[in-house]
Amino acid sequence: MSRPVAMITGASSGIGRACAAECARNGFDVAIAARRTDDLESLAESIAGDHDCQVMVRGVDLHDHEETVRIVPEVLERFGRLDALLNVAGVADMTPLHEMSLGSLQRTLVVNTIAPALLVREAWPALVKAPRGVVINISSLASIDPLPGGGAYGMSKSAIEGLMRSIHVESAASGAGIRSFALAPGCIDTPMLRSALDGIELPDGAEIPMDEFVGHVMDCVQGVHDDFDGQTIFVAREGHFSRDVADTKAALQDLWGG
């Protein structure tokens, strides 16, 4: 039997890069997609060598709908199957709502929400056929606690959680057997976070270790958290793991005060 296949967007850096490496470590062949192909190529060389897996590299700007819908068919042509879709790619334009341009709003919503929905649409038949079809959407605590200036980003992450719930309902109604999860982290050391929190010092315990968060992602892929199917998992700080909004907000209050 062929190895299971995971497709990861936003794999050139941060959470996406770490998820791709972890999928490979756990026995998956991987298709990695992002804008920066040089970074994808270096990742592909690293994980193929470390884990003896097949890696497909696909450069793409998810703002381009026509390019976005081509990715899944190419993955299926290469591997013949798709078992897990990890929607990790995202953009965050930190601009106050009253100053936000239409172009900025559109790009944020397209990359963070519409592109993942298109990928789910294209991947659906393959995920139904998979022994265990899974969609992972990376959200953010901004969905329940947006930062000033991060209105568009918070909106997009609320929407991608809605996509996760819709996948769950559609799958249950049709008997598709596709599991869907949204993971909403707080502070993980990524280029996007460093840009968004420029000059803001994190309180002790606020930074979530990358390996801890990616471990939660992999647990969802592999069935450890199937009782969370169709729900958002909040990771507010190191050691925190909850599907309860009130509990998560209390954890944020303890961290940040105010």
Positions marked active-site: 153
Pairing between strand 232-235 and 5-9?
unpaired
Pairing between strand 134-138 and 55-59?
unpaired
Is the CB of residue 64 less than 8 Å from the CB of residue 114?
no
Which of 217, 227, 115, 216 has its CA nearest to residue 163? 115
In terms of DSSP H, where are the helices of the chain? 14-25, 37-51, 65-79, 102-109, 115-129, 151-174, 191-196, 210-222, 245-256
Hey, what are 126's tokens?
């393959």
Angle in degrees, CA 146, 150, 156, rounded to 5: 80
Helix, strand, or coil here: 231? Answer: coil
